[in-house]
Chain A
Amino acid sequence: NAGVTQTPKFRVLKTGQSMTLLCAQDMNHEYMYWYRQDPGMGLRLIHYSVGEGTTAKGEVPDGYNVSRLKKQNFLLGLESAAPSQTSVYFCASQGQGGGRSYGYTFGSGTRLTVV
């Protein structure tokens, strides 16, 4: 099925470890986003990309890096994990056409625990 695939689905890290979350979409969407979801705080934008080779900071970018080397993939990296980064991470992609916004297609999420 077409859509957005996130890997891994679950991960436990120790403080200070690094990891990369992968987001892949097969809808030829230009825009891709990384959000984190925490209880009582809704969705907060970490980083986003408006096309291959471009990235930009969202509202909570500290402690994260991203790369968009291929149009279909958007990687989120944690260089030195901290307990405050325990969260559920969602990737989303966005398509456009005819000047109308088509909203987001979300992945199923990655549940990350940092101990």
Chain B
Amino acid sequence: AQSVTQLGSHVSVSEGALVLLRCNYSSSVPPYLFWYVQYPNQGLQLLLKYTSAATLVKGINGFEAEFKKSETSFHLTKPSAHMSDAAEYFCAVTKAAGNKLTFGGGTRVLVKP
């Protein structure tokens, strides 16, 4: 069975600082990986996805993630945090096209002025 672990349920960063959100997965086959963002009182929006093409994936709002097979990781980064990045972020994995996603527990990001 596949699973996702997000390290840190809460992360606090200063405005302008690096944002790093960690995601490790377990999967018996090469996975498809996703990052979603949830702003307060809203649904989840797709930030970016890895589908076995380039290992460095660029998403919306300046975020990117790197797939590292040897580390079974898909960490999300943004070089410079903005106040509007305050939200909850979810990593998700699936093992095949059309399969349901397995979500991590989420990481809530607080951005300090």
Q: Which residues of A come within 8 Å of B, CB atoms?
A: 4, 30-31, 33, 40-43, 45, 48, 50, 58, 90, 92, 94, 96, 99-109
Q: What's the Cα separation between A86 and B9 when bound, in Å?
A: 22
- Contact call A90/B44, Cβ cutoff below 8 A: yes
Cross-interface CB contact of A31 among B41, B96, B98, cutoff 8 Å: B98
Chain B residues whose CB sits within 8 angstroms of the CB of A102 once the complex forms: 49
Q: What is the 8 Å Cβ interface bit string for chain B, positions 66-81, against chain A (1 contact, 0 not)? A: 0000000000000000
- Do A43 and B90 form a contact, CB below 8 Å, given A100-B97, A101-B96, A101-B98? yes
Residue of B nearest to A108 (CB): B43
Contact B32–A101 (Cβ < 8 Å): yes
> B106: which A residues are within 8 A, CB to CB?
42-43
> Once the chains are docked, how many angstroms separate the CA of A40 from the CA of B42?
17
Is A96 in contact with B9, judged by CB distance below 8 angstroms? no
Q: CA A4 – CA B45 in complex, angstroms?
A: 12
In the bound assembly, the distance between CA atoms of A107 and B105 in angstroms comes to 19
Nearest CB of A to B60, in Å? 13
B46 within 8 A of A: yes
Contacts of B25 in A (CB 8 A): none
Interface residues of B in 50-106 (CB under 8 A from A): 51, 90, 92, 94, 96-101, 103-106
